[in-house]
A and B are shown apart, each in its own frame.
Chain A
Amino acid sequence: MAKARNSKHPDRLDALLHPTPRFLWGLALLGVLVLAPRWETRAAVMLFGGVLATLAGKRISFSYFLLLAGTVVVFHALAPFGKVLIMLGNFPLTEGALLGGWKNGLTMAGLVFVSLGTISRQLHLPGRFGKLWALTFSWYEQLMESKSRVHPGAILLSIDRILEQHYPTRPGSSPVWTQEQRSPHGPTKASGWALVILSTLAAVTLAVALR
């Protein structure tokens, strides 16, 4: 069984959901996020995405959301559109631009959160490319285990040593490209399916109801 990358922040959704349906669930939520006409629906999906990302062990912060949504709102406000709320000197601050920016900002934050919550590192890609990716990821994890041996003071030498360890090139050695034999991921549990179906239905219903 692949160990959790960060035992302090385990991926709690991993036990419930197989990576592939989890990925498709994410795409469904993204569809609602991008297509929902009202900002209230997008805000709800974004918040749900935040919960998912946290359950997945990713650290997200309120200040990140504020920064992302805030900059989007400010830039949109710079292109006035619609009802003038207040004149800032000669510049009109408009309702349409602020609302458009707010909606876009919510969407951008929502995309990031939902993605963080539904893309599992163990996502299996199909075909020969999938096999190549599996090999790549396996090596990536091995390299990451050596990360502490990268010394900023002697960076070239330390990196060279790490590379030689994982892909030996010295005469006489042959590269060891075994993949860790991963036990296949367990199937999605009933509670996982319930989560997927109920949340997707809720999101779609909200989007339709709040047209």
Chain B
Amino acid sequence: MPGSSKKMAQARLPLVAFFGALSLFFATLEYLFPTPPWFRLGLANLPILLALDFFTFPELLLLLLLKVIGQGIVNGTLASQAFLLSSSGSLASFVVMYMAFRLIPRGWISLIGLSLAGSMASNTVQVGLSMVLIFGPASGIIAPWFLGLGTLSGLGIGWGAETLKRYSRWLRRVKLGQSS
């Protein structure tokens, strides 16, 4: 019945909000892992990876929006080029990850592969935009560095997500609760 499904969807909104908060929270945990100053691991993507198999598409989009706008407000970068780059990268990453998740049979890909696909898309878009808007046409030299580091971080985030998925009892209880 339309009425009850709308109620169900509304009941899940707090969970979407909590995953949004997790995204912002995980972003602040990046300091625990040493990286070069220009480069961000992208831990904020971890909750999105985890949510892929039990959030609906609209919920995932909402989560993405919360993550992107939320980071802009929390970090104060909402009105700068950093927001433009990160939102474009996040959108590209989400589109690719979601398509891969939907099109590739479950047993053939894990969160590691999805994370790598998302990382590739995000970094390609961000490098392209940086070249056009910030660094000019001669800055192609930055591409291999970003893509290479992005491959490493994609692997790392994917592995982290798989580990959380496998061992987090909290996550297991959340999924059970949502399916009942």
When distances are taken between beta carbons in the complex, the residues of chain B under 8 Å from A155 are: 32
- Shortest CB–CB separation between residue A74 and chain B, in angstroms? 9
**Of the residues A75, A125, A140, A143, contact of B138 by C-beta under 8 Å:** A75
In the bound complex, do residue A71 and residue B18 qualify as a contact, i.e. CB atoms below 8 Å apart? no
In the bound complex, do residue B136 and residue A104 qualify as a contact, i.e. CB atoms below 8 Å apart? yes
Provide the bound-state CA to CA distance between A23 and B80, in Å.
12
- Known A125-B69, A143-B25, A167-B18: A72·B80 in contact at CB below 8 Å: no
When distances are taken between beta carbons in the complex, the residues of chain B under 8 Å from A75 are: 135-136, 138-139, 142
Is the C-beta of A79 less than 8 angstroms from some C-beta in chain B? yes
Is the C-beta of A163 less than 8 angstroms from some C-beta in chain B? yes
In the bound complex, do residue B138 and residue A79 qualify as a contact, i.e. CB atoms below 8 Å apart? yes
Interface size of B by CB at 8 A reads 46
Is the C-beta of B99 less than 8 angstroms from some C-beta in chain A? no
When distances are taken between beta carbons in the complex, the residues of chain B under 8 Å from A117 are: 76
- Known A76-B136, A136-B66, A156-B164: A119·B73 in contact at CB below 8 Å: yes
Is the C-beta of A203 less than 8 angstroms from some C-beta in chain B? no
- Known A116-B77, A177-B14: A163·B138 in contact at CB below 8 Å: no
When distances are taken between beta carbons in the complex, the residues of chain B under 8 Å from A104 are: 134, 136
Which of chain B's residues has its CB closest to A117's CB?
B76
Provide the bound-state CA to CA distance between A142 and B24, in Å.
12
In the bound complex, do residue A133 and residue B74 qualify as a contact, i.e. CB atoms below 8 Å apart? no
Is the C-beta of A169 less than 8 angstroms from some C-beta in chain B? yes
Provide the bound-state CA to CA distance between A155 and B174, in Å.
19
When distances are taken between beta carbons in the complex, the residues of chain B under 8 Å from A177 are: 14, 17-18
**Of the residues B76, B136, B163, contact of A119 by C-beta under 8 Å:** B76
In the bound complex, do residue A135 and residue B79 qualify as a contact, i.e. CB atoms below 8 Å apart? no
In the bound complex, do residue B70 and residue A115 qualify as a contact, i.e. CB atoms below 8 Å apart? no
In the bound complex, do residue B22 and residue A143 qualify as a contact, i.e. CB atoms below 8 Å apart? yes
In the bound complex, do residue B77 and residue A132 qualify as a contact, i.e. CB atoms below 8 Å apart? no
Provide the bound-state CA to CA distance between A131 and B71, in Å.
16
Is the C-beta of B56 less than 8 angstroms from some C-beta in chain A? no
When distances are taken between beta carbons in the complex, the residues of chain B under 8 Å from A167 are: 15, 18, 170, 174
Most buried by A among B14, B62, B80: B80
When distances are taken between beta carbons in the complex, the residues of chain A under 8 Å from B77 are: 112, 115-116, 119
Most buried by B among A118, A150, A156: A156
In the bound complex, do residue B32 and residue A152 qualify as a contact, i.e. CB atoms below 8 Å apart? yes
Q: Mark A133-166, 1 if CB is under 8 A from B, else 0.
A: 1011111101110010010100110011001101
- Known A112-B82, A115-B76, A152-B32: A135·B25 in contact at CB below 8 Å: no
A-B contact sample (16 more), CB < 8 A, given A79-B136, A111-B80, A115-B79: A100-B136, A101-B136, A111-B81, A114-B80, A132-B20, A136-B17, A136-B21, A136-B66, A140-B70, A147-B28, A152-B32, A156-B167, A159-B164, A169-B170, A169-B173, A177-B17
Binding site for B on A (CB under 8 A): 23, 26-27, 30, 53, 56, 58, 71-72, 75-76, 78-79, 100-101, 104, 108, 111-112, 114-119, 121, 123, 125, 129, 132-133, 135-140, 142-144, 147, 150, 152, 155-156, 159-160, 163-164, 166-167, 169-170, 175, 177
Give the 8 A-B residue pairs with the shortest CB-CB distance, closest first. Answer: A78-B138, A139-B21, A169-B173, A115-B79, A115-B80, A75-B135, A111-B80, A136-B20
